[in-house]
Each structure stands twice: as structure tokens, then as C-alpha cells.
Amino acid sequence: MSQLSPFVAIRRDLHQIPEIGFQEFKTQAYLLNYLHSIQNDRMEIETWRTGIFVRIAGTNPRKTIGYRADIDGLPIKEQTELAFASQHEDYMHACGHDFHMSIALGVLTHFAKHAIEDNLLFIFQPAEEGPGGAEPMMKSETMQKWKPDMIVALHVAPEYPVGTIAVKEGLLFANTSELFIDLKGKGGHAAYPHETNDMVIAACQLVGQLQSIVSRNVNPLDSAVITIGKITGGTVQNIIAEEARLEGTIRTLNAESMNKVKSRIRALVEGIKAGFECEAEIDYGSMYYQVDNEEQLTREFMKFTDEAAEVDFYHCKEAMTGEDFGYMLKEIPGFMFWLGVQSEYGLHHAKLNPNERAIDLAITHLVNYFTFKGNS
Ligand SMILES: CC(=O)N[C@@H](CCC[C@H](N)C(=O)O)C(=O)O
């Protein structure tokens, strides 16, 4: 029987302890335990909230190369039935951050053992799924002290075969804004609707109206998404709901469309307020800046990947996914790429089951790329 690669084993450990943004206490402890076990005198480790920075000093540094992995899970009840499924009920690594961490540890371990000329900075970042760890982490003292000259990150892609690396220069991921709308009317007896302002009906109408924004207010040659992922309201089946709450997200490919979508949301909510004689509040939660891959470094990486034996290169299109890595790329040149992990079920699905062969392939490719960049 073939032995499990150490970084696949690490991925399985991490997969069992998913934690949501800024609650990644066990994850941070696991990572620190591993990092201390390989620490040497070229390595410095600093924590920031539930995140970690690891700096590896180069032998003849002219620059610092950054690599970022996000570490949080999602509030999803896992349905994979894997032997190493989540032990945290109702939480799951359903966005592949367990892969992201184990790959980062694999690359880091290589350079802890094999010296490189340039400095390396590994960033284990909390709260990518929300409320966003990248933006505050960028402002941290450690980041300011060790700020890299270029930065790289990857995201697993269930839709691509194992061994594929998909990337493009320029815009890769969308601008995002969370969306929370609270409606408050007048509840009452289910048999006396004329004496109430029913917030379940108001919420349903608003969800339908919101969908018209993308089809009727955004330029058809542009792209936008409004998804309402959660509706709550009411208390029991025979009481008319006094309150309802919609929770969703907005995605656009540019800031102007985001402003347009938000102004239309405000107008539609005003309409609901007038029509239902109710109160309504909009909260946009956290917003992520688009992921914009720096042209020159991305083209160089695409060429490097195209010529590499271990992976297949695919020149992809942009996606409506969001990533707070966009805040790092706003200040530091670099890029994010997709790593094919071929799963029947996609990101944010309870049955996501990425192919673990991708872990060692990604480690090899990143080690080769950093060796090339860090010695030239
Ligand atoms: C890669 C990925 O799936 N990222 C998340 C980021 C979510 C940002 C925020 N919480 C929001 O929902 O707007 C995504 O859903 O794209």
C-alpha cells in the first residue's frame, strides 16, 4: 500500500477542524505546532490575531517573495462521508482552505530545508470567507516590517482536472459586497392579515425584485450577480411575521456597476417600505476589492507553467468569485491562480471532495517557481 504524503496527511488533519473567520484557534495552534517542529535559525514566526507570518531569510536577498494561504472554513454541514470528515458539526472546509494551508506548509518546509537567495514570507490569513482578514493584516506591524515585493496565492478549482493551473493576467475575481436587509412590519394572527404588515410577503417580493437589477439595470455587456443565500423571518406557522431578514452577496466586475447595483437596491427597498408601510435597513457588511493580477509577473508565471512538466497550463477567463487577497494585490504586485482539483461538487458544497493528488503537484510547481524567482 502506498504511504500517504505528509502534506496530504496534514490536509486531512486540518480538514477535521474547520473554524470560521477569526475563530481559527485550533487551526492556528496546529499550524504553529508544525512550524515550531521545523523551525531553524533562518525562520522567524509571528502571529497576528488567528493568523501567522513566517519569514525565511534568504542567503543573498534582493527582494522578498510573499505567499498567502487562507485558513478559515465555512458554516456548512459536511456530507462527504469521508473517514476524515469534519469533527466540527455544521462547519466544513468547503472552499479548499485545508488544501491551501497544506500546500503552503509543503512549500515552506522545502525552503526551511533548502536555502534560497531571496527572503520568503508565508502568510496564513484568517477570515477570507468573511468578514475579511487580508485588509487588516496588510495594516499590521508585521506586514509593514516584512512587506514582500511580490506576492502569490492559489485557489482550488473543482471544475478543472488535477494537474491544471488556470490563470489570466488582469482581472481574475470580482468586487464583492455582502448584503443584509432587515424588514420590520406588524405581526399578528394568521387569520387577520388585514391588521398586519406581513414581512414574509415583503421579503419574498423584495427577493424577486432584486433579481431584476441584474437583468434590467446592469449593462448586458457587463456582469453582475446578486445572490440571496439566506432568508429568515417569523416565529411559527400561524403567526404573521413581524420581521424578516435577507442575507446575500453582490458581485460586479467594476466599481461603477457595484455603485449602480447598490443605488437600485436602495430604491427597491424604499419601494417595499412605502408599499408595505414597514421599516427596512440595509447593511453592506464587508466588501472585497477585485483580484487584479499584475500583468508582467502573471505572464512570466504563465510561461513558466506552460513549460513545466508537472502541470498543464490553461488560460482562463475571469470569475464572479470574490477573494480578499485582492487587498494584498492592490498594494503588492503579484497574482492568484486556480489549481485544478477535479471534484463532482463545487466550492461551498457540502459534498466537495477535491482530489488530493493536486497537493503534491502544487507544492512541486510552487517550489520550482520560487526557486526560479528567488535565485534570479
Ligand atoms: C473564493 C470564495 O469562494 N470566496 C468567497 C468570498 C466571500 C466574501 C463575502 N463574505 C461575500 O459573501 O461577499 C466567495 O463567496 O466568493
- CATH number of the domain that 253 lies in? 3.30.70.360
Q: What is the pLDDT of residues 133-182, one digit of tens each?
A: 999 999 999 999 999 999 999 999 999 999 999 999 999 999 999 999 99
pLDDT at res. 4: 87
Are 307 and 191 within one domain?
no
For residues 71-87, give the mean pLDDT. Answer: 98
Active site residues: 70, 129
pLDDT at res. 30: 98
pLDDT class for 3, splitting at 50, 70, 90? Answer: confident
- CATH number of the domain that 32 lies in? 3.40.630.10
For residues 97-111, give the mean pLDDT. Answer: 98
What percent of the chain lies above the pLDDT cut of 90? 98
Are 15 and 118 within one domain?
yes
pLDDT at res. 376: 77
117: in domain: yes
Ligand 1 lined by 95 (C-beta under 6 Å)? yes
Of 224, 218, 368, 230, nearest in space to 301 by CA: 368
- Ligand 1: residue whose CA is nearest its atom 4: 322
Q: Is 278 annotated as a binding residue?
A: no
Are 167 and 210 within one domain?
no
Measure Cα distances from 258 to 172, 251, 284, 286, 319 in Å.
Answer: 17, 7, 11, 13, 16
What percent of the chain lies above the pLDDT cut of 70? 99
95: in domain: yes
Q: What is the pLDDT of residues 259-308, one digit of tens each?
A: 999 999 999 999 999 999 999 999 999 999 999 999 999 999 999 999 99
Rounded to whole angstroms, the Cα distance separating 357 from 187 reads 55
Mean pLDDT of the chain: 97
Ligand 1 lined by 100 (C-beta under 6 Å)? no
Rounded to whole angstroms, the Cα distance separating 249 from 175 reads 10
The residue segments making up the domain with residue 277 are 175-287
pLDDT class for 339, splitting at 50, 70, 90? Answer: very high
Q: What is the pLDDT of residues 196-225, one digit of tens each?
A: 999 999 999 999 999 999 999 999 999 999
63: in domain: yes
Q: How many residues does the chain have?
A: 376
17: in domain: yes
Are 228 and 108 within one domain?
no
Grid cell, residue 2, equals 502506498
pLDDT class for 2, splitting at 50, 70, 90? Answer: low
Measure Cα distances from 316 to 165, 292, 337, 362 in Å.
Answer: 9, 14, 10, 18
pLDDT at res. 364: 97
What's the domain count of the chain?
Answer: 2
Q: Is 100 annotated as a binding residue?
A: no
For residues 30-35, give the mean pLDDT. Answer: 98
Rounded to whole angstroms, the Cα distance separating 135 from 127 reads 10
Q: Is 348 annotated as a binding residue?
A: yes
| β pairing state of 224-233 and 164-167 | unpaired
Ligand 1 lined by 125 (C-beta under 6 Å)? no
Contact 108, 123 (CB under 8 A): no
* Of the residues 264, 287, 310, the one at which a domain ends: 287
pLDDT at res. 165: 98
pLDDT at res. 159: 97
Measure Cα distances from 157 to 66, 100, 236, 337 in Å.
Answer: 22, 11, 41, 9
- Ligand 1: residue whose CA is nearest its atom 14: 322
pLDDT at res. 108: 98
